[in-house]
Amino acid sequence: MSKIVCISDTHNKHNELIIPECQILLHAGDFSGRGSIADTKNFLEWFSKQPAKYKVFCSGNHDMMDYENPKLFEEILKEYPGVIYLRDEGVELDGVKIWGRPWTPTFYDWGFMCDRGSPKMLSSLSIIPSDTDILLTHGPAAGILDVTNTGESVGCYDLLNELERIKPKVMVFGHIHHSSGEVEVNGIKHVNAAVLNDLYKLTFYPKSFDI
């Protein structure tokens, strides 16, 4: 059994967090403000030093470097060999199968966004293996920890539909700060791991579970 700790939406405030020792540390994206080189390197330097055997993350809509300049992002990642980055790909760590994806439904002009029901959205979901243990994705499925401070539900219906096929043990995400929390739906544990509130103040703390 592995202890998993998860965080999301740190937006350059990662240094304010205390991460407990764990087997796997997951970050579900939005580690930066807008993905500058300085922000990216600062996060990776911190992330690589956390007390976890494995450090795994995906990007979010604010992490624009990987979206706009993936080659530069890949070069920077090489400086941190102890960090595992997942962009529409998976990794197996001590028997735990994790799949990471950054895509969320379109909202203004941020990165890693595509229209609901579009070929890009559907193809990014169709390649997720059905034996995935942890689905690490930046945003929530529709109707599950996806309510904004205005009361609007903004999760992804395409992701919700695909969960019936994938049936991961756990889904870890963030994106909607207002709905940080945990809930079990149809046998799947959903963890909104956002640590900042809507005012970008550190309000919530790292969440953990065993798998």
pLDDT at 108: 74
CA 87 to chain centre: 10
pLDDT, tens digit, 9 for 90 and up, residues 132-173: 999 999 999 999 999 999 999 999 999 999 999 999 999 999
pLDDT, tens digit, for every residue of 22-75?
A: 999 999 999 999 999 999 999 999 999 999 999 999 999 999 999 999 999 999
Contacts of 135 (CB under 8 A, 6+ apart): 98, 99, 101, 128, 163, 166, 168, 170, 171, 172
Domains recognised in the chain with CATH numbers: 3-210 (3.60.21.10)
- For the whole model, what pTM was predicted? 0.97
Percent of residues, the chain, with pLDDT higher than 70? 100
